């Protein structure tokens, strides 16, 4: 019995070391070599400084920028508190938050749902093309640009479905706002 117990303990320690330490280090190493940009968080640099990640949403406020989805992660876009709000559709708190978001975005028309509701993680960096196009007139007016040029910029930043069938078309808000700054400075 003692021999079997020692053997079981040794196998547990060896297996834990191999699967809990060696295997994750191997996979991390392979991913850093094979998928360097993705393994490092797909960071976006502007003039040598990191301005964000393609993978994690950020808060953009003010009428001169395209707005992201609201975040339910911690105090907002907090990656350490990534989660949904877990508020039911009948929740007054959810209703109040959505109504406040509609009032902030609203121009009397139907506001796209992703501009007033948080994603499951609360960190979604993308919005739908409809949500981006909804904001074109406000952004163009505030930056004194033509709506056509801003609309064209949005359409250039639409990422289609992967392999033509996976996911939905989307627009990365950080990349769009960076391109908007470039467009604005070139005019």
CB-CB contact of 67 with 61 (8 Å): yes
CB-CB contact of 69 with 124 (8 Å): yes
180: part of which helix (H) or strand (E)?
helix 173-186
Work out the pLDDT band at 186, boundaries 50, 70, 90: low
List pLDDT tens digits, range 151-185: 999 999 999 999 988 989 999 999 999 999 887 66
> Concatenated DSSP letters for 17-85?
HIIIIIHHHHHHHHHHHHTHHHHTT-EEEETTEEEEESSS-----STTS-------STTTT-GGG----
List pLDDT tens digits, range 17-64: 999 999 999 998 888 888 877 777 788 888 888 888 888 888 888 889
Q: What percent of the chain has pLDDT over 70?
A: 91
Cα–Cα nearest to 53, from 66, 68, 38, 64: 38
Prediction pTM value = 0.75
**Which tokens sit at 148?**
């056509």
Question: Hey, where are the domains in the chain?
Answer: 1-40, 42-186
Q: Mean pLDDT, to the nearest integer, of 85-93?
A: 74
Q: At what angle do helices 173-186 and 147-156 cross, to 10 degrees?
A: 140
Q: Mean pLDDT, to the nearest integer, of 54-80?
A: 81
Cα–Cα nearest to 171, from 54, 60, 62, 82: 54
What pLDDT does 5 receive? Answer: 92
């Amino acid at each position: 019995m003692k021999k079997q117990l020692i053997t079981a303990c040794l196998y547990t320690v060896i297996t834990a070391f191999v699967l809990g330490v060696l295997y994750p280090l191997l996979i991390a190493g392979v991913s850093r070599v094979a998928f360097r940009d993705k393994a490092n968080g797909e960071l976006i640099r502007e003039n040598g400084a990191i301005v964000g990640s393609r993978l994690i949403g950020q808060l953009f406020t003010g009428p001169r920028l395209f707005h992201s989805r609201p975040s339910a992660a911690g105090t907002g876009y907090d990656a350490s508190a990534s989660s949904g709000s877990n508020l039911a559709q009948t929740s007054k708190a959810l209703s109040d938050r959505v109504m406040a978001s509609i009032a902030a975005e609203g121009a009397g028309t139907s506001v796209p749902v992703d501009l007033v509701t948080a994603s499951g993680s609360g960190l979604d960096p993308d919005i739908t093309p409809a949500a981006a196009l909804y904001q074109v007139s406000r952004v163009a007016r505030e930056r004194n640009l033509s709506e056509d040029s801003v609309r064209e910029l949005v359409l250039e930043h639409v990422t289609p479905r992967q392999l033509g069938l996976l996911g939905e078309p989307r627009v990365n808000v950080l990349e769009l706002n960076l391109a908007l700054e470039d467009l604005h400075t070139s005019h």
